[in-house]
Amino acid sequence: MRFAPIPQSLPPTVPFTGPETLERRRGTPFIARLGANENGFGPSPLAIEAMASAASEAWKYGDPDNHELRQALSAHHGVPPESIVIGEGIDGLLGLLVRLMIAPGDAVVTSDGAYPTFNYHVAGFGGALTKVPYREDREDPDALLNAAAETGARLIYLANPDNPMGSWHPAEVIEDMIERLPGDALLVLDEAYAELAPAGTLGKIRADDPRVIHMRTFSKGYGLAGARIGYAIGHPTLIAGFERIRNHFGVNRIAQAGALAALADRKWLSHVQAQVAGARDRISRIAAENGLSALPSATNFVAIDCGGDGDFARKVLAGLDRAGIFARMPGVAPMDRCIRISCGPEAEMNAFSEALPVALAEANG
């Protein structure tokens, strides 16, 4: 079978191996699902009710304009609806953005070890990816800007708060970075964990600024990862470009209803934020009880420094897998000295607490 030239040149890989695939390989389910940064505390009951109601109308296509949700997001963020595009999660929107902005050979800059799905899309459309290292377990805005200036990059990807380390920069650092963008570079600001970030992390969204596009999702704070719905906020001219290439029926009717209800339920979001904060503290205590250190986190996961190198952390991860704990780790040194544990309900935190000392003992031989 002969593929088109770009796909033919790519390795047969995907950015992530899902927990379901791992469970099939293990032959048994995980007892704690703590590796995918999902919101184990669940979506708003109002969102569940809205989705259940919408299921009876699943015979209809979803509104291709996502009108009601765009209007609600417009009011929520104080930006024009023309500055908002809805898509199949941030992953889908990243693919559309790269397709819209990158021709084969165009330069793109990201961080080595940052969200791999972005890299996947850049490779899939023939972009030339340049990576810079993290600095002190955080994205390095200066290094990203320097690399963009050197390569003439069209896109610069930065997540704030960050995945996989959970670190973050205050809003003024990001705003300064935007002011120093070189040439016609566009900052792709992935704000997937926005609802979980501490005060002062997120700056005011200026939808009239053509230098930056904000990526947001209902997967994390709102607990709708399985519904696959996210949105981007940017200059109206940039957002209008998505109309040329997006899958207009890609966001289904049930997801639209769930997201609309979730956005309106501020009480449930506050509940989730409190639960996540408590689970972050619990993970940090578990790490300390085992002689390990947890990195500060502005997300719904915590990176735990296992005190060795990547090989040692992989042994710990393998031990957790044998105990039925699904977890992940950063893939690039020196960050791969850590394992990454998602916040979850008490029963899953208890299971992790019991499994970690055994995994560490096995890793130590």
Transcribe 13-26 into DSSP letters: --S---HHHHHHHH
In the prediction, which pLDDT does 13 show? 79
* Separation of alpha carbons 37 and 302, rounded Å: 10
The strand pair at 230-233 and 301-305 is best described as unpaired
In the prediction, which pLDDT does 2 show? 85
DSSP at 166: -
Provide the 10 A C-beta neighbour count for residue 282. Answer: 19
Strand 338-342: give its sheet, edge to edge.
Answer: 293-294, 301-305, 338-342
Bridge partners, 346 (sequence order):
none
Provide the 10 A C-beta neighbour count for residue 34. Answer: 28
* Separation of alpha carbons 145 and 211, rounded Å: 13
In the prediction, which pLDDT does 348 show? 98
* pLDDT beneath 50: ranges in the chain: none
In the prediction, which pLDDT does 102 show? 98
Task: Mention every residue, 6+ apart, whose C-beta is less than 8 A from residue 266.
Answer: none
**Sign (positive/negative) of CA torsion 302, 304, 305, 309?**
negative
3-state secondary structure of 319: helix
> Is the distance from CB of 351 to CB of 342 less than 8 angstroms?
no
3-state secondary structure of 156: strand
The CA-atom distances, in angstroms, between 299 and each of 14, 76, 114, 356 are 24, 21, 15, 21
Question: For the domain 45-264, what is the CATH code?
Answer: 3.40.640.10
- The residues of the chain that CATH labels 3.40.640.10 are 45-264
Q: Read off the pLDDT of residues 8-41 as tens digits, 9 standing for 90 and up.
A: 999 887 788 899 999 999 999 999 999 999 999 9
- The residues of the chain that CATH labels 3.90.1150.10 are 16-42+267-363
Output the average pLDDT for the chain: 97
CATH architecture of 16-42+267-363: Alpha-Beta Complex (3.90)
Q: What angle do CA 64, 87, 248 make, to 5 degrees?
A: 30
> Is the distance from CB of 226 to CB of 198 less than 8 angstroms?
no
* Separation of alpha carbons 260 and 71, rounded Å: 10
Q: What is the phi/psi pair of residue 27, to 5°?
A: 85, 10
Place of tokens 């791969």: 336
In the prediction, which pLDDT does 15 show? 83
In the prediction, which pLDDT does 12 show? 85
**Sign (positive/negative) of CA torsion 24, 25, 29, 31?**
negative
Total number of residues shown for the chain? 365
- How much is the pTM? 0.96
Provide the 10 A C-beta neighbour count for residue 161. Answer: 26
The strand pair at 230-233 and 212-217 is best described as antiparallel
